[in-house]
Amino acid sequence: MKKKDRVTEYARQVVEGKVFCGLYHKLACARHLKDLEKQNTKEFPYYWDIDASEKILEYAETLTIIEGTEPRPVKLIGSQIFDIGCRFGWKKQNGFRRFRRSYKSVARQNGKSFENGIMGTYIGNFCGYNYGKLFTAATKKRQAKIALEAMMSFIRADEDLSDLFEIKEYKSEIICNLTNSTIEALSKEAGLDDGFRSIFSSIDEIHQHKDNKVYKVLYNGTVSLDETLVSMITTRGTDIGPTSFSYSMDNYAIRILEGVVTAEDFFVDIHTLDKGDDIWDERNYIKANPYLALSEKGMQSIRDAAATAKDMGGEDLRDFKTKTLNLWSQDEENKYIEFEHWLACASDEVLEDYEGKSCFCGLDLSHGGDLTTLSLEFPLENEEFYIFSHSFMPKGRLQEHIKLDLAPYDIWKDNNLITVTGGVNEYKNDYKFIISFLKELVNKYKLNIKTIGYDPHNADGFLSDLEELGHPLLEVTQSAKFLNDATVDMQLNIKNHKVKYDRKNELLSWSVNNAKTVANSFGEIKIDKEPRKINKRIDPVDAAINAHVAYMKFEEEVNVDNELSSYLEKMGWNKENEVE
């Protein structure tokens, strides 16, 4: 008799279109089916253990939910069967579980903590590891306790489980009596630090995490373990950009599903609307709400949230997009560029690819010891451009800016995106060093700089050195009137994906994400920082726009010359007609 394999059966139904869902969930199911075809090979040394998958699913459906008016047995829906069973059914050749990390993103009230509660109690007492450590973690203790409380409720609802576990609620801890393992709630605010060696960690709502420290502390502690599971669960949020841990992790997870990167130890599933879906069409809501949208009561709660969002807009609309539809949502008011447009312009090209080419340079000269940036713009065919960007900061200000800006300048320094100048007691930018750096670039890559567009602010002691380079200079007045044409043209080029940049340049991407637009009384615009957020620096974008101003002014002069020559030719005038 053929074994029951609910995970694979569900995955086939999804891939065949029998289950209405979003693209990323379909890709997760397709990944499972593709892996089945190549299991137990040299290239793919993993195998599918149906018994292991079914064992945890059967355990889950012996549990009882006591929340509500009366107790009821756990009944897993298809996507829960897939997500739980898949993580436990895939094994390495030595018999240990394949997946050591997992990332699940889904709208609120769809059972994320519920699933981690099932997996946590199962690993704690029934996987054979003695004296293990299990953790539920988040930025705040209240959030960290949600998954722990889900485990406690399962235990309290079942007499047999109550004998197998001991709840110490005052310590936010559960003792697993069969294995002497412990399950404990941790939080960053309560001093979560290095030294945690966990066989299971539930990391809740990572969109609230300012950085990756909680994840790193818990994951790094698992290196010596034969098997572990660091289970990240979240709903998407509003913190979008290269310095956002949750946004970066989400993009990494998507690349795994798309097959762009390989991470065989990482299970991923994302439930969200697809690009282009109508957010007001309730038929799409099940894509982000695989559990909630199954019941009329759940659907009505989604409809109510949609009606409020539609009427109120603003924060209510952003909340609806993130919490109910599991979409990334940003404050788009006066946003210079939607970050998705910028990401679409990313390329693998680097400055070395443009050796011997003509370019335009832009310089943004910061005050004192702030960030200073030079940018090179290379005009390409089809009205496209490549942007190179490099920044500078005095060493004496580095640590201060890391804390003030909440930006990883030290990592960007190691990745050659920023050069730190001077010694530990140097607090002002060394403009002569920047000139020397630019000169070295020109000589090393045989660049032909047509014009250097510079911000005249703070340029008094810098101009004579700049003139010695021998390239034409253009003073770029930092007013909306002067900058409007280049600012708008750059914006349109990015939206039309006519701009290229090195995808590894996180500093440039960070500044693009920070840029807002401000307008004068005539509606002319320039970019600026978000009000009251002085740490959201935009210097690399300023420098790029200065370079684009230089390009556009150069093109205007060339066009005037060409038009004048063409006019004179039509009038029969040429060099021979000139009077000595």
Note the pLDDT tens digit of each residue in 386-409. Answer: 999 999 998 888 888 887 777 888
Instruction: Taking residues 525-538, report their average pLDDT.
Output: 73
Task: Give 144's pLDDT tier (boundaries 50, 70, 90).
Answer: confident
What's the confidence (pLDDT) of residue 521? 86
Four-CA torsion 21, 72, 102, 225, nearest 10 degrees = -160
Structural domain spans, the chain:
6-272, 339-563
Closest CA to 236 of 200, 285, 188, 273: 273
Residue 423's pLDDT is 80
User: pLDDT for 411-464, tens place per residue?
Assistant: 899 999 999 988 878 778 788 888 899 999 999 999 999 999 988 876 766 788
pLDDT band at 580 (very low <50, low <70, confident <90, very high): very low
What distance in Å separates the CA atoms of residue 81 and residue 340, rounded to the nearest whole number? Answer: 33
For residue 114, what pLDDT is reported?
92
pLDDT at 190: 52
Fold of 6-272: Rossmann fold (3.40.50)
Q: How buried is residue 199: exposed, middle or buried, by Cβ count under 10 Å (0-12/13-18/19+)?
A: buried
Do the first three CATH levels of 6-272 and 339-563 match, i.e. the same topology?
no
pLDDT on residue 559: 56
User: What is the reported pLDDT for 248?
Assistant: 86
**Mean pLDDT, rounded, for 12-24:** 97
How high is the pLDDT of residue 579? 42
What does the pLDDT look like over 207-255, one tens digit per residue? 888 777 888 888 888 888 999 999 999 999 888 877 788 888 998 999 9
Lowest mean pLDDT across 171-180, 261-270, 400-409: 400-409
What is the rounded distance in angstroms from the CA atom of residue 333 to the CA atom of residue 487?
Answer: 17
In one letter, which amino acid is 532?
R
Q: Compute CA distances 188 → 170, 365, 374, whole Å.
A: 19, 38, 38
> If you average pLDDT over residues 332-349, what whole number do you get?
87
Mean pLDDT confidence for 90-113:
95
Q: What is the pLDDT of residue 195?
A: 56
pLDDT reading at 200 higher than 90: yes
pLDDT-derived band at 100 (thresholds 50, 70, 90) equals very high
Q: Is residue 426 a contact partner of residue 396, using CB atoms and an 8 Å limit?
A: yes
Place of tokens 């607090």: 427
Task: Give which of 258, 255, 266 is closest to 232, Cα–Cα.
Answer: 266
pLDDT at 461: 66
> Tokens standing for 168?
């110490």
| DSSP per-residue string spanning 315-356 | HHHHHIIIIIT-------TTBSS-HHHHHHTEES--GGGGTT
Please report the pLDDT score of residue 540 as a whole number: 93
Q: How confident is the model at residue 105 (pLDDT cuts 50, 70, 90)?
A: very high
Question: Mean pLDDT score of the chain, rounded to an integer?
Answer: 88
Q: Judge contact between 206 and 234, C-beta under 8 A.
A: yes
Q: Can you give the pLDDT at residue 198?
A: 92
What's the CA gap between 453 and 545, in Å, rounded?
9
User: What integer is the mean pLDDT of 492-496?
Assistant: 94
Highest mean pLDDT among 82-96, 252-266, 429-443: 82-96
Q: Tokens 């920023």 identify what position?
A: 418
Coil, helix or strand at residue 375: strand
Mean pLDDT of 80-107: 96
Residue % of the chain over a pLDDT of 70: 91
Q: For residue 563, is pLDDT > 60? A: no
Give residue 24's pLDDT: 97
Q: Which CATH code is given to the segment(s) 339-563? A: 3.30.420.240
What is the per-residue pLDDT for 578? 46
In angstroms, what is the C-alpha Rg of the chain?
29
pLDDT tens, position by position, 345-397: 999 999 999 999 999 999 988 766 678 999 999 999 888 999 999 999 988 88
80 pLDDT tier (thresholds 50, 70, 90): very high
Q: What is the mean pLDDT of residues 81-90?
A: 97
Mean predicted confidence (pLDDT) in 263-267: 95
